[in-house]
Amino acid sequence: MLLVRRLRNTLLRCFQCNIMMVCMLVALIITIWIVLVSEPVSTRDYMDNLLSFSKMDLATKRDKPFYSNCVDTQDYLSNPLYAKQNASFVMLTRNEELEDVIKTIKSIEEHFNQWFHYPYVLLNDQPFTEDFKTKVRDVTNDSIVEFGTVDEITWNFPSDVKDTFEFYNAIENQGDRSILYGNMESYHKMCRFYSGLFYKHPLIQKSEWYWRLEPDVEFFCDITYDPFWEMAQNDKKYGFTIVIPELYWTVPNLFRHTKSFVRQNDVTPGSLWKLFTKDYDIFESDDPELRDSINYDFDVKPKVSEKIAIEQLLEKGNESERINADEEGIMNLVNRARSKKHIVEDKFSNEEYNLCHFWSNFEIARLSVFDNEVYNSFFEFLEKSGGFWKERWGDAPVHSIGLSLTLDLDDVHYFRDIGYRHSSIQHCPHNAMGGEEFPYVTSDPRFQRKKNAAYDMGKDFGCGCRCKCPMNKLDIEDSTGFCLNVWVDLIKQEKGREHRAETFNGNQIEANVRKDYLKEFGN
């Protein structure tokens, strides 16, 4: 009986102990929840600022929003110094996408073009129907709209390519490997067209600037100034609003062909090149083998030590003095013999494509950044390689890398203040503080807003004008921040001294390691 009572008391104490632990855990969870939910907004914002680009000030002397708030558009337009540019919107679409086309045009008209009246150029691989043309003109607020077709030769791959078994096999193979859009021949055609042919169309050639649109696009903020005019005044040639990494298996050999083009044509890329490449040339040494084998900072000391130990093993000297050195050298020699040569798979001439690219379905640019000798030759080189069908090269990485062959970082502008969505990716900035100073004034009754229309609250470092961002949607600045981080890091550098990989004085390091080695082993 005594044993039973002791067992019962032990179980009771354990039960009470477990109950207490559960209660403490529940109390801890409730406390954390209360702190997170009820803490002052300013504290939460401060913590967010430590974690997200969207709440940071990214402006630098080299690039920042043209205006950090709304402007009075009527005053802007009446300024005698202002001049409307030779520019147009460009959209590649089809008759069956009419609803999405209208959605895009309504959005850009409401948020920008109702005040500036820039023309539209719509292109199709088939003739547009009269119904399509009529309904598009009805929503463009009297702006000029031109409709063009992409001729058969421009749209299709050359006949000596598209009529081959290799072509169709490559397309089907990409589908079998689940390459995004890889089995869609039309998508390959579109990417090829936008990569190096769109700007040659006669309707587009009439303009000096273009703003690319897509069906089913939303703009979230008012653009109360003229981006074309501001880019011209600030010596900017290309503008983006989203920069993200590409899917590796869509472009596995794009950079290899790019490096071949650069080498064969003796091209010296601009500083924009650094936005899209990783530099492995970090070890400055007279030893080419060390330069090639040291790709990361953690390689430096082991690789140099290995070299010194093996060298000392092979040198002649007093046998009794070399016994310890022999042991060290033999160990390193054996390790080198057993180890595989470290190869960075996609490194070419000590550089690798980091997969970053401007999301080209939004571009505001001078046509001349594409229509020039270097870029045209680059596209023709890529065309001959067959990469637009052998692989699924998108026009975004082709544009980005191609532009970096001629442009510097200072030629490019980040339109951070333009809220934009296409597909599932979006960017929507915080509103600037004090945006209510310039209320919305429409020039088209179709876009009249309620008198008490609610916009997002202004935030520190905000730059948007009357933005209304979708709720519970993570901004692309925070969800894929690597490429934006590279941009910000580079644009913060002094012009001409843009960031590159940290370099090491290899000859000096080698001398120091050799000195330490000899001191330890006395050889």
pLDDT in tens, 140-164: 978 999 999 999 889 999 999 999 9
Q: Is the pLDDT of residue 495 over 90?
A: no
pLDDT at position 30 = 39
Q: Which residue did the predictor score with more confidence, 198 or 451? A: 198
Q: Is the pLDDT of residue 335 over 90?
A: no
CA distance 335 to 333: 5
pLDDT at position 51 = 56
pLDDT at position 38 = 36
CA distance 192 to 383: 8
Say which range, 170-184, 238-252, 292-306, 442-456, has the weakest mean pLDDT. Answer: 292-306
Say which range, 9-23, 102-116, 223-237, 332-346, has the weakest mean pLDDT. Answer: 9-23
**Parallel, antiparallel or unpaired: strands 504-505 and 283-284:** parallel
CA distance 109 to 93: 18
- Cβ contacts of residue 439 below 8 Å, gap of 6+? none
Looking up tokens 């084998």, which residue turns up?
Answer: 293
CA distance 486 to 498: 11
pLDDT at position 28 = 44
The answer to whether the CB of 445 falls within 8 A of the CB of 78 is: no
Long-range pairs, 344-348, Cβ under 8 A, ≥24: 344/280, 344/295, 346/252, 346/255, 346/256, 347/280, 347/295, 348/255, 348/256, 348/259
CA distance 355 to 457: 35
pLDDT at position 453 = 84
Secondary structure of residue 452 in the 3-state scheme: coil
Q: What is the pTM of this model?
A: 0.82
Per-residue HEC secondary structure of 263-328 comes to HHCCCCCCHHHHHCEEECCCEECCCHHHHHHCCCHHHHHHHHHHHHHHHHHHCCCCHHHCHHHHHH
**Beta strand residue intervals within 165-242, DSSP E:** 209-213, 217-219, 238-240
CA distance 127 to 140: 20
The answer to whether the CB of 88 falls within 8 A of the CB of 121 is: yes
**Position 336 confidence tier, pLDDT thresholds 50, 70, 90:** low
**What single DSSP character describes residue 464?**
B
pLDDT at position 333 = 54
Q: Residue 514 has which token pair?
A: 């050799």
Say which range, 10-19, 69-78, 177-186, 365-374, has the weakest mean pLDDT. Answer: 10-19
For 52-251+357-492, give the CATH class: alpha beta
CA distance 20 to 413: 59
**Position 15 confidence tier, pLDDT thresholds 50, 70, 90:** very low
- Mean of the per-residue pLDDT values for the chain? 85
Q: Give the chain's length.
A: 523
CA distance 490 to 470: 30
CA distance 356 to 333: 40
Cα angle value 319/323/328 (rounded, 5°) = 135
Average the pLDDT over 324-341 and give the result.
57
Per-residue HEC secondary structure of 31-88 comes to HHHHHHHHCCHHHHHHHHHCCCHHHCCCCCCCCCCCCCCCCCHHHHHHCCCCCCCCEE
Backbone angles phi, psi at 359, to 5 degrees: -75, 100
In the chain, the amino acid numbered 57 is D
% of the chain surpassing 70 pLDDT: 80
pLDDT at position 500 = 61
Helix 506-521, helix 300-314: angle, nearest 10: 50
For 216-230, the DSSP string reads SEEE-S---S-HHHH
The total of other beta-carbon atoms located within 10 Å of residue 422's CB is 17
Domains of the chain, by residue range, sit at 52-251+357-492, 283-347+502-521
pLDDT at position 288 = 80
Taking the alpha carbons of 513, 519, 520, 523 in that order, is the dihedral positive or negative?
Answer: positive
Choosing from 351, 363, 391, 510, the catalytic residue is 363
pLDDT at position 309 = 72
Average the pLDDT over 215-227 and give the result.
97
**Active-site residue 363, yes or no?**
yes
Q: Which residue did the predictor score with more confidence, 508 or 60? A: 60
